[in-house]
A and B are shown apart, each in its own frame.
Chain A
Amino acid sequence: MEAIAQKIREAAAKLLSEGAVDCVIGYAKGTVPMRDYPYFAYTPEEAQNLTWSPFCTNNLANFLIRRTAGEVGKVAIVAQGCVSRSIVGLIKENQITREQVYILGVPSHGMVDRRKVEARFPLKTITEVLVDGEDLIVKGKGFEERIPQKEVRRSNCYTCVQRNPVIVDEVVAEDGPNDWGGNIDAVAAPWEKLEPLQRWAAFEETVKDCIRCYACRDACPLCYCHVCFVDESQPQWCGKGQDEADVATFHILRAFHCAGRCTDCGACESACPMGIKVRRFTSKIEKDVRQLYDYTPGLDLESTPPLSVYRPNDPQEFIK
């Protein structure tokens, strides 16, 4: 892990000192345990702050779109499998061009779900989490425990099918195994097996804590709409308050807008301050897209997204 971090620093410093890019977007060590954060290095010295760890849960592709538009020139970005897939998506949707971005490819070893670690220590405060090989050493007041990373990874990382970046300009670390052996279709759309009444109850239970901060949306590289439908006032599509129908509308429609686009990077769930399992909706959508259109988003630059093209054999049983 530290070896890769060192290679990222070296590659970034080289790019910046040669003037090949104006900025390298990577991760730096956070001020709280298990929260490494998006970092923008502009000089070879700043490149020394870059890191690589199991706590890099933000999708950096997010920072290639409007949020930094005009602020930086040519950018290099540290990209593992899911981030590179999001970049592919953004190129396909004409949000960025391939030439604008220089990709420093890194294989993903899977990121840790902070909440799974916290859940092991109810009401306790974790003060430090160290990475020791395949384990985490979790320290707090009056306790220290060793936890294998593989027990506390984010759910989306277990079923990842593309740990290695799909497009790369510079290989920082050699590709590893591309998946963990998890089967996404076995765990996606967990409510399909429930009865309709139970489904609604499960849905309500899932979104009950939502505070509508929109961190899920704002952390998502797909959610680049200038005015999101929830913010529209003319017409106003849904209420702005905490009524459960309005909260539900937000989650249902946001998920739907990601259809055929979501790469299951998990940034939404990692960003949510309330621990809402947003992937319970998006995983259903993507499962349908796989089954109905045989399509997985962000794997290559050539194929056409199914929702933007009409094919005579598109499934249409639902049209009556």
Chain B
Amino acid sequence: MAEKILAKDKLGGFLEGLTSSYEVFAPQESEGKARWARLEDPSGALWEFSNTHLSPKDFFFPQSECMMRFKNLQDGEEGMVMHSEPGLDNKRLLLNIRPCDAKAFQVLDLIFVQDEMTDDFYWRDKREQTTLVGLGCSDPCPTCFCTSMNCGPHSTTGLDVLLVDLGDKLLVKALTEKGEALAQGLEDASPDDLAAAEAQRKSSEEQIESTVGMDQVLSRDMMELYDAGHWSRVQESCLNCGTCTYCCPTCHCFDIQDETQGEDGRRVRNWDSCMSWLFTMHGTGHNPRGTKLDRVRQRFMHKFKYIPAKRGGEIGCVGCGRCVQLCPVNIDVRRVVNDMNA
């Protein structure tokens, strides 16, 4: 795939062009934090930020999403027949998404779309309608540990385009057909540009201060890890709130609920969290994950053992560090993985 160059003085026009064919979203500053928002004014897009407060998974897997509707009529055939919500009616573009968040979508693709039966219409539709334009990290946070998670500050997995900020210009690396379409008409990058981008990648990777080992986690027997002694310490301070699961770009558990109002009804899915004890509670009162330890262990085992076992070695974590920053009791996933890897 060809590398192109976009001069910063032409950036405004380029973005204007995008907004005419896509609904463009980008991280923008709000109350001192970078947050995803619709890009109304191209100059509002952030180019220097660590990462957004929350992951952009909401674009593909909204926290509350109407799946289907029905007429809430008890009698008559129409009363119980479900009608799917339509897919997106426009094309979307996420500008300046961080490589770790894009990588997370690639991991989630493996879960939401597996085969003919497990083919999540809502996820797939939004993924197909959306183009991901990534921005390589030049200034990673102390909590970032992407390089330990099959990812990195300039990782291209899951992206359609990777941008690298070279000061007065951007290197535009088209990675898919969707990406090629965007890069069309731009100048080719010079060998110097490529070298500068490569230098930035190296320097960013070197700046990642935290690393964790996964080799033992992946090779150790599953039940040995499951029965390991450290879980009782990991879970002690856990509040069993949903913060880690809701800020996580790869957490994808959900609940399905019916709601009715007069003659209208809908079936909605909402994010759910494996931290909640009701999550696995049977109607009979039996609970397969009845203790806090069970639930805390489930979250980490799922990401670092179950997903790799089931999805060809892919890890269910991209090292974005959000849970490290936001956990109210500082349960640090890097410590947990180190414990698992010991």
Is any CB of A less than 8 Å from a CB of B in the complex?
A: yes
Residues of chain A touching chain B, judged by Cβ–Cβ distance below 8 Å, are: 30-32, 35-40, 58, 62-63, 67-68, 118-119, 121-123, 125, 127, 141, 211-215, 217-219, 227, 231, 239-243, 270-275
Q: 18 A-B contacts, Cβ less than 8 Å apart? A: A31-B334, A32-B325, A36-B330, A37-B331, A38-B236, A38-B237, A58-B237, A58-B328, A68-B236, A118-B32, A122-B33, A214-B242, A215-B242, A218-B240, A241-B64, A241-B268, A271-B243, A273-B247
Which DSSP category, helix, strand, loop or mixed, fits chain A's interface?
loop
Decide: A271 and B241 in contact? CB cutoff 8 A: yes
> Which listed residue, A39, A231, A275, touches B237 by the CB 8 Å rule?
A39
> In the complex, what distance in Å separates the CA atom of A217 from the CA atom of B331?
18
Decide: B328 and A273 in contact? CB cutoff 8 A: yes
Decide: B241 and A213 in contact? CB cutoff 8 A: yes
| Chain A min CB distance to B224 (Å) | 23
Decide: B63 and A35 in contact? CB cutoff 8 A: no
Chain A CB within 8 A of B329 CB:
yes
Decide: B276 and A215 in contact? CB cutoff 8 A: no
Decide: B32 and A37 in contact? CB cutoff 8 A: no
Chain B interfacial residues counted at CB < 8 A: 47
> Which listed residue, A39, A123, A213, A275, touches B49 by the CB 8 Å rule?
A123
> In the complex, what distance in Å separates the CA atom of A270 from the CA atom of B243?
13
| Chain A min CB distance to B179 (Å) | 27
Residues of A within 8 A of B331 (CB): 37
| Chain A min CB distance to B230 (Å) | 13
Chain A CB within 8 A of B142 CB:
yes
Decide: B142 and A125 in contact? CB cutoff 8 A: yes
> Which listed residue, A58, A121, A123, A227, touches B329 by the CB 8 Å rule?
A58
> Can you list the 8 inter-chain pairs with the closest CB atoms, starting with the nearest?
A241-B64, A271-B328, A213-B242, A37-B330, A122-B32, A215-B241, A218-B239, A30-B330
Decide: A270 and B63 in contact? CB cutoff 8 A: no
| Chain B min CB distance to A65 (Å) | 12
> In the complex, what distance in Å separates the CA atom of A211 from the CA atom of B276?
15
> In the complex, what distance in Å separates the CA atom of A275 from the CA atom of B54?
13
Decide: B270 and A241 in contact? CB cutoff 8 A: yes
**Chain A, residue nearest B238 (CB):** A67
Chain A CB within 8 A of B143 CB:
yes
> In the complex, what distance in Å separates the CA atom of A69 from the CA atom of B34?
40
| Chain A min CB distance to B69 (Å) | 15
**1/0 per position for B30-48, CB-CB distance to A under 8 A?**
0111100000000000101
**Chain A, residue nearest B236 (CB):** A40
> In the complex, what distance in Å separates the CA atom of A66 from the CA atom of B3?
58
> In the complex, what distance in Å separates the CA atom of A121 from the CA atom of B50?
13
> Which listed residue, B46, B237, B324, touches A123 by the CB 8 Å rule?
B46
> In the complex, what distance in Å separates the CA atom of A80 from the CA atom of B33?
32
> In the complex, what distance in Å separates the CA atom of A240 from the CA atom of B272?
9
Decide: B268 and A219 in contact? CB cutoff 8 A: no
> In the complex, what distance in Å separates the CA atom of A267 from the CA atom of B276?
20
Decide: A242 and B334 in contact? CB cutoff 8 A: no
Q: In the complex where A32-B330, A218-B241 touch, is A119 in contact with B32 (Cβ < 8 A)?
A: yes
Residues of A within 8 A of B178 (CB): none
Residues of B within 8 A of A243 (CB): 64
**Chain A, residue nearest B62 (CB):** A242
**Chain A, residue nearest B321 (CB):** A32
Decide: A239 and B328 in contact? CB cutoff 8 A: no
Residues of A within 8 A of B276 (CB): 231
Decide: A270 and B246 in contact? CB cutoff 8 A: no
B residues 227-285 in Cβ contact with A at 8 Å: 233, 236-237, 239-243, 245-247, 255, 257, 259, 268, 270, 273, 276, 278
Name the residue among B139, B142, B237, B324 with the largest chain A CB count within 10 angstroms.
B237
Decide: B270 and A240 in contact? CB cutoff 8 A: yes
Decide: A273 and B326 in contact? CB cutoff 8 A: yes
Chain A CB within 8 A of B218 CB:
no
> In the complex, what distance in Å separates the CA atom of A242 from the CA atom of B324?
25
Decide: A125 and B50 in contact? CB cutoff 8 A: yes
Decide: B63 and A211 in contact? CB cutoff 8 A: yes
B residues 2-51 in Cβ contact with A at 8 Å: 29, 31-34, 46, 48-50
Residues of A within 8 A of B239 (CB): 62, 67, 215, 218-219, 271
| Chain A min CB distance to B238 (Å) | 8
Decide: B242 and A212 in contact? CB cutoff 8 A: yes
> In the complex, what distance in Å separates the CA atom of A241 from the CA atom of B272?
10
Chain A CB within 8 A of B71 CB:
no
Chain A CB within 8 A of B141 CB:
yes
**Chain A, residue nearest B143 (CB):** A32
Residues of A within 8 A of B31 (CB): 119, 275
Residues of B within 8 A of A211 (CB): 54, 63, 242, 246
Residues of B within 8 A of A30 (CB): 330, 332
**Chain B, residue nearest A68 (CB):** B236
